């Protein structure tokens, strides 16, 4: 694959290969329409960002973060820009995904079912 998207595709593949344990465990629950039939993709370029997971049909972005993202102004700015572009952003800590995956999935499901 050559052209302007080649770097983006390479970055997406690199991020998929370097997924955290929490991202991998959540992905196993979201892939193949496993969450109430909603289709998710991972490490997708949106605007000028690469998001962890996105349900394109519902314009719902799910981010899984470690402690380095706590109160990060860049993340807040990123979320604001994505929301201005019409996306909803949910952020979860790695620890939440690893210790309370069912709770995380319930919150995602409620956001998918909610009217924008």
Question: What's residue 54's pLDDT?
Answer: 98
Cα 10 to the chain's mean position, in Å?
Answer: 18
Structure tokens given for 96 = 């939440």
> Which pTM does this prediction carry?
0.83
Spatial CA neighbour of 30 closest among 113, 105, 100, 93:
105
User: How many CB atoms are closer than 10 A to CB 49?
Assistant: 14
Question: What's residue 5's pLDDT?
Answer: 64
User: Which letter does DSSP use for residue 33 in this model?
Assistant: G
| Contact (Cβ atoms closer than 8 angstroms) between residue 12 and residue 43 | yes
Question: What's residue 102's pLDDT?
Answer: 97
Q: What backbone torsions phi and psi does residue 3 show, to the nearest 5 degrees?
A: 125, -170
Q: Can you name the CATH fold of 6-113?
A: Endonuclease; Chain A (3.40.960)
What residue ranges of the chain have pLDDT lower than 70?
1-18, 67-70, 116
User: Which letter does DSSP use for residue 59 in this model?
Assistant: T
Distance from the first to the final alpha carbon of the chain:
36
Question: What's residue 75's pLDDT?
Answer: 86
Question: What's residue 48's pLDDT?
Answer: 86
């Amino acid at each position: 694959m050559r052209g302007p998207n080649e770097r983006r595709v390479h970055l997406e593949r690199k991020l998929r290969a370097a997924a955290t344990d929490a991202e991998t465990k959540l992905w196993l629950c979201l892939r193949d329409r496993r969450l109430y039939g909603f289709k998710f993709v991972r490490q997708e370029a949106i605007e000028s960002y690469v998001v962890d997971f996105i349900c394109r049909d519902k314009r719902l972005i799910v981010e899984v973060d470690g402690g380095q993202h706590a109160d990060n102004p860049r993340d807040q700015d990123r979320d604001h820009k994505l929301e201005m572009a019409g996306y909803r952003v949910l952020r979860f800590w790695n620890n939440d995904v690893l210790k309370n995956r069912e709770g995380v999935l319930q919150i995602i499901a409620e956001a998918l079912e909610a009217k924008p």
